A and B are shown apart, each in its own frame.
Chain A
Amino acid sequence: MREYAVLGAFLLVGIVLPAAVVIGGWLLGPKRANPVKNSTYECGLETVGETWIQFKVQYYVYALIFVIFDIEVVYLYPWAVAYNRLGLFALVEALIFAGILVAGLFYAWRKGALAWF
């Protein structure tokens, strides 16, 4: 648990510091509103149409493939850190694991799922 004290402290600083900056700015800064200041972007272009648009299904396919290989990496990480303690067979075992998923990557690639257009 003690190892996470640093993480906890970091989290605390991460929450407190931005909050302090925002609140401090609100307390100390002068408040003189005018139309230009109140516009969404003081410099830059106004948005056209809705800000939320319907996504292309292609994003979803990418996200799916990402999730699958993300999980693969998580599975391989413990194997990698234990590698020195394990023998040659562990390498073979991990290669089988990765090989099955490489077949999947090859499949996704050949089916054109990785192409944008």
Chain B
Amino acid sequence: MQINWADTSFLLAPEILLTVGALIVLVLDLLIEDDTSPVLPGFTLLALVSAFGAAAAHLVTGVDDVALFMFAADPLTHFFRLLGIGTALLVLLVSVNYVQARSKHTGEFYSLLLWVTLAVVLVAGAHDLILLYLAFEFLSITSYVLVGWLRDDARSNEGAMKYLLFGAISSALMLYGMSLLYGATGTTRLTEIAAFFTIPETQITGLYSIVVPALVFLLAGIGFKISLVPFHQWAPDAYEGAPTPVAAFLSVGSKSAGFAVLARVLLEAMPAFQEHWTSLLVVLSILTMTLGNLVALRQTNMKRLLAYSSIAQAGYILMGLAAYSAGATFPADGLSGVLIYLVAYLFTNVGVFIGAVIFEQATGSVAISDYAGLIRRSPWLAFTFVVFFLSLAGLPPTAGFVGKLAVFYATVAKGLYFLAIIGVLNSVVSVYYYFNVIRQMFFMPAPEGAERVRMPASMGLALAISFVGTLLIGFYPEPFLNLANMSRDFISALPLL
């Protein structure tokens, strides 16, 4: 087999740029004595921006091909590349001051941020169970290290430990699922698995019976990354212990990678079993949003609140996949609803974490009660928080509203009325705890002698970008809807290789 190197490096340009960038940053860190040198974040930024540019160029020029047979460079991949790298860009902007204040290992942090971004894009494009598993482990291992980054902080250690233990179990279950599929079909390529199951059930009845257990095992592994109930237990502790920018990355970057895999496995490998997985997803979605919202009501720690809130959000996003219907027009197909929701969720959820980082950096606190009187201490920060919480609750005129509208639209179009009603009820519950934080900020008096909350320029920039993004999608959603519409094509449209 001859490999065309020019084509391959073109198709994998974002991944290659991230790899080279991560290696350069690692070596630069060894050559530069000063941990606070701006060269390190500067190079990281350069690598991320160039990878982002390459991915955007692929999307715009409509590249649609399989590179090296295991990685699908299709519009869906381009979309998740943009999402993952975009998350990393925002996280990098808030990380600089945060990690410099807390650790001597800043160079490794930037390098790992690039590696974890690489893992996200690899996961999103993996088109074969082998690459998928390897990329998934890559993402997990890098995440464990990043969560345990604050090595002298017992909470950080605890979070990393729990994340690792849950991760090991769920990835073992996922391997069971994969081996069942391989044993039945004799292939690891997603589209070939789907092709195998076009053989009528009467000829291979026994093999059809492995599909549901295989699905459940796979969902355990992927659901762990997305923090679906009941695979969510690690999330609150990991988010609470992790450096806050890392928590932001986990809740958005790593979660969207999980959704990319879920979409690929279900839609490319198992389209024949849609009835089965739809009912599974409906149950998981209801459990996830209900439990996430109910437990979030009782939280007093901002990071834990956001952890439960992001569990609940995963439940809403899952509604879109449950409502998937292959032939439907945009945006009733469900997948495009997932994509729009994820873009909205990127700006909103990273934004709210950025706000939390800024507050933590200025005051050293993550307790919700300490947010009292924030309106006097930093009116801008308080105002952006309001917009982010509105968006998380799905109220207009914000990005979250557009995302939720798209997902609910598809759910109703598919006829899943019960799921839609549960979703609406959950949104109502979530308003309560989001507004509880807003109430603290606006109507509770600030403690005596509280100083103004100051933010470093880079953090302010990241906050501004998320803020503008959240409002822009709310007021002017057309370009983002077009993006989702463009990106919902995935590889199965291509001939089998």
Q: Do chains A and B touch in the complex (CB under 8 A)?
A: yes
* A residues apposed to B, CB below 8 Å: 89, 100, 103, 106-107, 110-111
A38 to B19, CA, bound (A): 63
Do B3 and A103 have beta carbons less than 8 Å apart?
no
Do A107 and B26 have beta carbons less than 8 Å apart?
yes
Do B3 and A89 have beta carbons less than 8 Å apart?
yes
A100 to B19, CA, bound (A): 9
Do A103 and B27 have beta carbons less than 8 Å apart?
yes
Interface of B is mostly: helix
Contacts A89-B3, A89-B5 given; does A110 touch B23 at CB 8 Å: no
Do B26 and A103 have beta carbons less than 8 Å apart?
yes
Residues of A within 8 A of B207 (CB): none
Residues of B within 8 A of A100 (CB): 19, 23
Say whether B30 faces chain A, with CB atoms less than 8 Å apart: yes
Q: What are 9 A-B pairs at a CB distance below 8 A?
A: A100-B19, A103-B26, A103-B27, A106-B27, A106-B30, A107-B26, A107-B27, A110-B30, A111-B30
Q: A100-B23, A107-B27 are in contact. List 12 more A-B contacts (CB 8 A).
A: A89-B3, A89-B5, A100-B19, A103-B23, A103-B26, A103-B27, A106-B27, A106-B30, A107-B26, A107-B30, A110-B30, A111-B30
Give min CB distance, B185 to chain A, whole Å: 25
The contact string, 1 if C-beta is below 8 Å from chain A, for chain B 1-14, is: 00101000000000
Residues of A within 8 A of B5 (CB): 89
A90 to B23, CA, bound (A): 21
What residue in chain A is nearest B107 (Cβ atoms)? A107
Residues of B within 8 A of A107 (CB): 26-27, 30
Residues of B within 8 A of A106 (CB): 27, 30
What residue in chain B is nearest A93 (Cβ atoms)? B3
A89 to B19, CA, bound (A): 19
A110 to B5, CA, bound (A): 34
A107 to B30, CA, bound (A): 7
Residues of B within 8 A of A110 (CB): 30
A21 to B3, CA, bound (A): 59
Residues of A within 8 A of B26 (CB): 103, 107
Residues of A within 8 A of B19 (CB): 100
What residue in chain B is nearest A104 (Cβ atoms)? B26
Residues of B within 8 A of A111 (CB): 30
Give min CB distance, A28 to chain B, whole Å: 52
A106 to B30, CA, bound (A): 9
A26 to B19, CA, bound (A): 63
Give min CB distance, A72 to chain B, whole Å: 15
- In residues 15-40 of chain B, which contact A (Cβ within 8 Å)? 19, 23, 26-27, 30
- In residues 36-52 of chain B, which contact A (Cβ within 8 Å)? none
Residues of A within 8 A of B23 (CB): 100, 103
A100 to B15, CA, bound (A): 14
Residues of A within 8 A of B27 (CB): 103, 106-107
What residue in chain A is nearest B29 (Cβ atoms)? A107
Residues of B within 8 A of A103 (CB): 23, 26-27
A107 to B27, CA, bound (A): 7
A100 to B114, CA, bound (A): 14
Give min CB distance, A19 to chain B, whole Å: 38
A35 to B364, CA, bound (A): 68
Give min CB distance, B148 to chain A, whole Å: 15
Q: Which 10 A-B pairs have the closest CB atoms?
A: A110-B30, A103-B23, A107-B26, A103-B26, A107-B30, A103-B27, A89-B3, A100-B23, A106-B30, A106-B27
Give min CB distance, B6 to chain A, whole Å: 12
A110 to B23, CA, bound (A): 15
A45 to B450, CA, bound (A): 69
A100 to B27, CA, bound (A): 11
What residue in chain A is nearest B108 (Cβ atoms)? A107
Give min CB distance, A56 to chain B, whole Å: 18
Give min CB distance, B484 to chain A, whole Å: 35
What residue in chain A is nearest B23 (Cβ atoms)? A103
A106 to B27, CA, bound (A): 8
Give min CB distance, A90 to chain B, whole Å: 10
What residue in chain B is nearest A111 (Cβ atoms)? B30
Give min CB distance, A44 to chain B, whole Å: 43
